Structure 1
Amino acid sequence: MKTTSFPSLEAVGQVDLETVQRQGLLIFGYGSFAHDLAAAAQKNAIPVLGFVVSGVPPAARSALPVWQISQLPEAYKDKPLWVGVYNHLAHSDYPLIDQTCRAAGFAARFPQHYFEVVADALGWRYWLTPRADYAAHASDLRAAFDQLADEPSRQAMAQTLAFRLGQTLAAPLPDAGVVHYFPDFAVAACRARERGAQAFLDGGAYNGDTLEAALSQLPFQQTYAFEPDLGNYELLTQRTRQLGLSATNYPCGLSGRNEQLRFSTGQGEASAVKEDGDSIIQVVRLDDCLQNVTIDYLKLDVEGQEIPTLQGGRDLILKSRPILAIAAYHRWDDMWRIPAFVAALAFDYKLAYRSHSRNSFDGVFYAY
């Protein structure tokens, strides 16, 4: 059977800054990312001519015009077009957006193509990074790739890298029927533990949806959940009460130090630590918060704090040797830093990688 090879790390689809500064720019999309992109472009002396959408133009949210792409004035049809759609939802199907743009005569550029031009103004945007970073860490990424224990993992990681480097617009799609954070191999490994499946730790518990999914897969007797957004936390406590869990819920976040950080609230599952956040939250180290506790399954989706959280929970992990399910899409370098952390534990963990959503969002490393 042919196995997937480590991919080329060549960035494809570079943007010519001088051209867009001279000609101006159209932005496909009209959501929050599209408007943030417009502001970032203008900070980089790129004139923004307006927004285009595939359907009926929505109500105005800015002074810039918005057109249906099929009704764009002739004078704008030779202008550069950047896609300002960046999420994992159904409307962000990049191959379909590309078809729509090509049918209208545009060779659109997508976020991974232009991010290096506006990175300073856009700031942290999950996995986006200047793509030269990948080549600069080729040996780290190769080591991570070589750790993977199965062919589906190698395929998914290779396709994720190709997508983020602009080599393809087709990111890996989720496996049908796989429960997010609970693929069959990880569930089986937890069942086979000497203690079975007794304790589950949910870092970034949101509204308790992952806790409910966990109980549908494994008979956990005790759960520990951390959720710093107080709106989400209220929903979490309601759900654990309804589920009748033996649950310990913490209204705080996780990191590598015990400290207070600025936090952006009200973003649902995407609420995150940000320097300009509208509130202040407490974050804690797992090793300080859960002393004398054993964990059987540890899930982390903590909006970019995965590596600090793992470091702050190293003693807990060394003692418990839990199944690990760690989100790998918030920071581009989590693609190698998470595998490197797992390798440094010097356990006999097998490492797997799966993608659970569109556009390489919800990628997860599993150690089992």
Structure 2
Amino acid sequence: MTAPDFPSLHVDDDTDPTSARRNGVLIFGCGGFARDVRAAAEANGIPVVGFVVSAGTPGTCDGVPVAPLTGLPAGWTNLPLWIGVFNREAVSDYAAIVDACRTAGFATPLLPQQYYATLAESLGWRYWLADRRAYAAHHQALTGVFAQLDDTESRTRLADLLRFRLGQSATIPNAPDAGAQYFPDFLCALATEPIGFVDVGAYDGDTLESAARHLPLREAWAFEPDADNFPRLAERARHLTPQTTCVPCGASSINGTLAFAGGHGEASALGAGGNTRIQVVRLDDCLPNARVDYLKLDVEGHELDALSGAEALIRRHRPLLAIAGYHRWDDLWRIPEWIAGLGLDYRLRLRIHAHNGFDAVFYAY
């Protein structure tokens, strides 16, 4: 693999709010994110003329016209088209969507990262979406991470991910990665002895089950605070061979209670807008005497807080780390900087396990 160059962080402004407010826009898709984009656009004085879908028959969605790419009303291809799809699924691959829209006659469909800044205040936090112009201010931090990464593949992934987030490319080549999420071969090869595994953000036990397939587990601890997810986690854990302790708590930098938006499956998350409150614990205090050899963290944007609460544990055992790095736009450098700041000589790699930049994971060893 050819050594990659660090990409330019310069971006051109693709949106024209003045023209959009005057003529309106179209939104590709009519799912939850597309409807949220419509509400945010209209809150910013931008009328939404209609929704565009890949196939089907004309209709309406929330009172707005819906038309398939094969049956667009006259004049629609002259309007700006904003891609209103934002998830990790294969059917949502942006390159394929953009190609289909261009084939239908749209000149420059815009990705969510290209128009997000116009709607940011109304849309709020949406994982890694951010004002693309803000990346340039963190050039030094990002080039530091680029140099910190241990292999050419990781540096290629970071460069391609940045180009994608900056709207310079509609795709991330060779992503999703073929390896198992959280358990790539290069990390599992280092787990030669029976290990203690900690799964934070254990959801329904799917990662715990995967760990049992990929690692020689001695013991496992699984943390999951969502009231709907936890019973499924506990049931799954009953059928696993290693001794497993399931803990109905989240992990953070404090021991206490925090607001939590529950009932959203694997997307349940800590946050001020939560509909309930949950117990959170510092892993340092919850597992003071446990031998931890492998730590996985995927907690919907609370990764740095959870790491802070596990610093003593990490310093004591130097476990292999699998840390989700895509929930917030600045995870790209803040998580690697935190790991480097430990001064433990961790080596770092990056892999992307889903479409559109989702499920990017930092692996440290």
TM-score class, shorter-chain normalisation, is over 0.9
1:207 counterpart letter in structure 2: D
Question: 1:10-52: CA deviations, max 9, x gaps?
Answer: 2245211111111101100011000111111111111111211
- The alpha-carbon deviation at position 278 of structure 1 amounts to 2.2
Question: Is the 8 Å Cα contact of residues 146 and 158 (structure 2) preserved in structure 1?
Answer: yes
Extract unaligned runs of 5+ from structure 1: none
SS in 2 for 1:222: strand
Overall identity of the aligned pairs, in %: 50
Report 1:28-107 matches (<5 A).
28-57=28-57, 60-106=60-106, 107=108
Alpha-carbon shift at residue 217 of structure 1 (Å):
1.1
SS at match of 1:282: strand
Q: C-alpha separation between the residues in 2 aligned to 1:245 and 1:293? A: 15
The one-letter code matched in structure 1 to 2:78 is D
Q: Deviation above 3 Å: which 4+ runs of structure 1?
A: 57-61
Q: Give, in whole Å, the separation in 1 of the partners of 2:115 and 2:346.
A: 38
Q: Pick from 269, 274, 280: which aligns with 1:272?
A: 269
- Partner in structure 2 of residue 257 of structure 1: 254
Residue 356 (1) aligns with residue 353 (2):
yes
Q: Determine the structure 1 residue equivalent to 2:21.
A: 21
Deviations 1:116-168 (Å, cap 9, x if unpaired)? 11111111101111112211111011111100110110111110011000010
* Aligned counterpart, 2:138: 137
Contact 1:12/1:165 (CA < 8 Å) preserved in 2?
A: no
SS in 2 for 1:238: helix
Distance 1:47 1:186, change over 3 A: same
- Deviation larger for 77-86 or 59-68: 59-68
How far apart, CA to CA, are the structure 1 residues paired with 2:57 and 2:181?
A: 35
CA distance in 1, matches of 2:58, 2:237: 39
Match of 1:227 in 2: 224
2:191 touches 2:216 (CA, 8 Å); kept in 1?
Answer: no
The offset of 1:67, in angstroms, is 1.2
Partner of 1:240: 237
Equivalent-residue separation in structure 2 for 1:90 and 1:4 (angstroms): 26
CA 1:243–1:87: 2 relative to 1, 3 Å: same
Q: Say if 2:303 is the partner of 1:306.
A: yes
Q: CA deviation at 1:169?
A: 0.6
Q: Look up the match of 2:7.
A: 7
Q: Which residue of the partner structure matches residue 167 of structure 1?
A: 168
Aligned partner letter, 1:185 = F
Structure 1 length normalisation: TM-score?
0.95
Contact 2:59/2:67 (8 A) holds in 1:
no
Deviations 1:243-279 (A, max 9, x none): 2431111111112222322222222211112322222
Q: Is contact 1:12-1:113 (8 Å) kept?
A: no
TM-score (norm: length of structure 2): 0.96
CA distance in 2, matches of 1:265, 1:110: 29
Q: Deviations over 1:39-71 (max 9, x none)?
A: 111111111112110111587541212111221
**2 CA distance for matches of 1:24 and 1:270?**
32
Alpha-carbon distance in 1 for matches of 2:206, 2:113: 30
- Counterpart of 1:187, as a letter, is C
> Cα RMSD over matched residues?
1.5
Gaps of 5+ in 2: none
- CA 1:57–1:246 in structure 2 vs 1: closer, same or farther (change >3 Å)? farther
Contact 1:53/1:66, CA 8 A, preserved across alignment: yes
Deviation per residue, 1:169-189 (Å, 9 max, x gap) = 11241232x111111111112
- Measured in 1, the distance between the counterparts of 2:116 and 2:351 equals 25
1:293: how far off? 1.7
Instruction: Work out the CA distance in 2 between the residues paired with 1:6 and 1:352.
Output: 16
2:243 alignment partner AA: S
